[in-house]
Amino acid sequence: MLYERGIKWTEEVSDPVNDFNLSISIDRTNLCPNIVAAPTTDAEKSQSWPFDVRTVTPDNLDIAGIASFLQVNGKGQKSIKKLLTELLDIYFKKEAFVLETNVALAEDGQMQIKHARFGFDDAALKSGGRQKDVHSLRNKSQEVPEEVEAENDGIIYVK
């Protein structure tokens, strides 16, 4: 989906200078969505940027602050903005609750998504029949078996 929206997927970024995590998720403490960035895979070293769903646009995000925190400069800032623009689009249009990416970035701004994990609100499908295209991609074999079994009986269970 990201490729269709203009983010170039590559087999491997030549000479990556940055490897970081960039996500959009829900801050359950502050009851709002936020961007979470980590310059490493260590979640303890992450920082959050909450945003208001009513007013957020890629132009009013603190891209410079996020890039600085991730130690990305130059052309890499444009790549971060482009990735966040696409993630925000997916977040809103497909009713996501988490969009996590692990990114390798070269000095020239070339980006590789090394790993991604997306979670979508199943209530959109169950209550309103929305987002059938997204939910048809679900692979229950990769989920927690006890949670899937409970779901089959109409129970919400989180192990």
Summarize the confidence of residues 44-60 as an average pLDDT. Answer: 91
Count the Cβ atoms, other than its own, within 10 Å of residue 27. 14
Can you give the pLDDT at residue 11?
Answer: 54
Question: pTM of the prediction?
Answer: 0.80
Is residue 45 within a helix (H) or strand (E), and if so which, with residue range?
none
pLDDT tens-digit profile of 91-130? 999 999 999 999 998 888 888 898 898 988 888 877 888 8
When pLDDT is cut at 50, 70 and 90, the band that residue 4 belongs to is: very low
Summarize the confidence of residues 5-9 as an average pLDDT. Answer: 46
- Rounded Cα distance, 78 and 57, in Å: 15
Q: Which long-range contacts (CB under 8 A, 24 or more apart) does 47-54 make?
A: 53/92
Question: Do residues 20 and 103 lie in contact, with contact meaning Cβ atoms separated by under 8 Å?
Answer: yes
- Give me the percent of the chain exceeding a pLDDT of 90: 42
Q: Indicate the domain borders of the chain.
A: 3-120, 121-159
State whether residue 32 is helix, strand or coil. Answer: strand
Summarize the confidence of residues 118-147 as an average pLDDT. Answer: 84
State whether residue 105 is helix, strand or coil. Answer: strand
Can you give the pLDDT at residue 47?
Answer: 94
Q: Is 3-120 a domain of CATH 3.40.50.2000?
A: no
When pLDDT is cut at 50, 70 and 90, the band that residue 13 belongs to is: low
Q: Judge whether residue 42 has pLDDT over 80.
A: no
Phi, psi angle pair for 31, to nearest 5°: 55, 50
Phi, psi angle pair for 69, to nearest 5°: -60, -40
Is residue 96 within a helix (H) or strand (E), and if so which, with residue range?
strand 96-106
Q: What are the structure tokens assigned to 123, written together?
A: 């209530």
